Structure 1
Amino acid sequence: MHDAAFPALKGRRVIVTGGARGLGAAFVRSLALSGAQVAFGDVLHDDGNALAAALQSEGHAVHFVPLDLADPISITRFVDEAVKQLGGLDALINNAAITNSGGKFAGELAVDTWDAVMNVNVRGTWLMSTAALPHLRDSGRGSIVNIASDTAMWGAPKLLAYVASKGAVIAMTRSLAREFGTHGITVNAIAPGLTEVEATAYVPAERHEYYLKGRALTRAQVPDDVTGPVLFLLTDAARFVTGQLLPVNGGFVMN
């Protein structure tokens, strides 16, 4: 267990959504250790403020800004404030998502649940990306990494709204890569497997066991497994990589 750090990101100005805990918090910590300037948003204000305070006490340039991806106005305000805090923007990690469609068959899903998942995971990713576009364009080396899910690659059952939303994020990554590429901005997606974080605590033990047995690397997946690939895609070493999907799941799904 260790925090991935990329000295090549020193001084980079990065936004992370859903950064208060779980994978998002791992991204924020690793970016801070890399010397990046970070602004992160979340609906979990107490957790966000606590993480920012802890990293600031260690001398890192980290800022928490409230964010509700379900609210388009909140997204605009977040980007404006984050860019103000950072003095510009070089990269965006679209990490925030909700998974509250788990445990139900397709015919049991409520329309309101479907809409809530799509509004945050899909519409939120779209609006965040377009709000960040002019600032990333001004950077001259802008990068976006969308956090998808390998559930959209193997078709996880009883999780339809989430799976569909992450499939949309994968498709949107390719389209945005073509549109934003004209501005020199790279757009890629990472598809993590089932990772041991707070957000997956509800997942039944048999699903965790299913992943363990199905991976080429037969151990549990932790946040540190994902931070390295994500941060690499923000470096200059990946400037000619765009529109790609990278599964990071220990070989459970192979692309």
Structure 2
Amino acid sequence: MRQATAIRDEAALASLKREIPAELLSGRRILVTGGARGLGLAFAETAAAAGAQVVIADLLADLALDQANAIAQRHGWCRAVGIDVGDPASIEDGAAASIDWLGGLDGLVNCAAVTSSGGRDAHQLEVGLWDQVMQVNVRGTWLMSRACRAALASSGRGAVVNIASDTALWGSPNLLAYTSSKGAVIAMTRSLAREWGGDSITVNAIAPGLTLVEATEYVPIERHQLYLDGRAIPREQSAADVCGTTLYLLSGLSRFVTGQLVPVNGGFAMH
């Protein structure tokens, strides 16, 4: 990430944490996938700042451990587990370990995802890349949610927050596999909300816009400018911009909100 971007995002997160009620997630146990960097790391940091116990799950296990240790020093409790959300066995093992450490589970943030297909026209997209994106973004979200369902139901206040993308709302070109996978996550969110509402589990999705994190470093400047020109709030989006909505959906403030999609993109795509 460009140094200036990193400094801006740290400042935005610091400002957001000053606004978070210290007890918003007090006593809640939260698992965040893809939490070693970018959006997932911001979710983990702010959830811990709001009083939650947090487990960071990521394929980058060493980085996840470093980040968890840093969060624990600032906020009291955070652990890390290595999980490959493309591997069903890894999901089951990682979810079980996380739930054991936490003594249960109140919230799951499905943030882990890959893009891989950026810059290719639909007719140029390789079948292998399509399959990889679907395996991680769609199947991984389903399997992680399934692995956590029993623990979330037992808590009596379980909340699943799926990180989708506003590309599924406006139909981003040259990004077919990713856009399609995030559309599937939105549909999955609604179906799971219907199935699991009787277990007092809410399931919602957030659709961020183009956010300045490590995963978007490859995005052409023209696409960044498209967002800047099209947003109702005409500025770049940082990870901190998405955290407030995530914390709300994990908290007791949203117990009657389920099956919903919340775009958080400065008004680029309105839903």
> Which TM-score bucket, shorter chain as reference?
over 0.9
C-alpha contact (below 8 Å) 2:48/2:75 kept by paired residues: no
In the other structure, the counterpart of 2:226 is: 210
| Structure 1 runs (4+) greater than 6 angstroms displaced | none
Counterparts of 2:142 and 2:232 in 1: how far apart (Å)? 33
Instruction: After TM superposition, give the deviation of residue 39 of structure 1 in Å.
Output: 0.8
Instruction: After TM superposition, give the deviation of residue 50 of structure 1 in Å.
Output: 1.1
C-alpha contact (below 8 Å) 1:3/1:29 kept by paired residues: no
Which of the residues 16, 30, 41 maps onto 1:3? 16
Counterparts of 2:45 and 2:16 in 1: how far apart (Å)? 7
Write the mapping of 1:133-172 to structure 2, written as runs, cut at 5 A.
133-172=149-188
Instruction: After TM superposition, give the deviation of residue 235 of structure 1 in Å.
Output: 1.1
SS at match of 2:42: helix
Which of the residues 39, 42, 45 maps onto 1:26? 42
Q: Provide, for residues 36-57 of structure 1, a one-character-per-residue CA deviation record: whole Å limited to 9, x for no partner.
A: 0001111112221110111222
TM-score in terms of structure 2 length: 0.93
Counterparts of 2:16 and 2:40 in 1: how far apart (Å)? 13
SS at match of 1:138: helix
C-alpha contact (below 8 Å) 2:138/2:181 kept by paired residues: yes
Counterparts of 1:57 and 1:236 in 2: how far apart (Å)? 26
In the other structure, the counterpart of 1:226 is: 242
Structure 1 residues 158 and 36: CA distance shift in structure 2, 3 A: same
Q: Which moved more, 1:42-51 or 1:1-10?
A: 1-10
Answer yes or no: is 1:79 the counterpart of 2:92: no
Counterparts of 1:253 and 1:96 in 2: how far apart (Å)? 22
In the other structure, the counterpart of 1:112 is: 128
SS at match of 1:39: strand
Instruction: After TM superposition, give the deviation of residue 59 of structure 1 in Å.
Output: 4.6
Higher helix share: 2
Counterparts of 1:157 and 1:145 in 2: how far apart (Å)? 26
SS at match of 1:54: helix
Q: Provide, for residues 16-39 of structure 1, a one-character-per-residue CA deviation record: whole Å limited to 9, x for no partner.
A: 000000000000100111110001
Q: Which moved more, 1:93-102 or 1:43-52?
A: 43-52
In the other structure, the counterpart of 1:67 is: 83
Instruction: After TM superposition, give the deviation of residue 105 of structure 1 in Å.
Output: 0.3
Which of the residues 167, 183, 191 maps onto 2:207? 191
Which of the residues 239, 242, 248 maps onto 2:264? 248
SS at match of 2:16: coil
In the other structure, the counterpart of 2:7 is: none
Structure 1 residues 241 and 20: CA distance shift in structure 2, 3 A: same
Structure 2 unaligned runs (5+)?
Answer: 1-11
Q: Which moved more, 1:123-132 or 1:53-62?
A: 53-62
SS at match of 2:250: coil
In the other structure, the counterpart of 1:42 is: 58
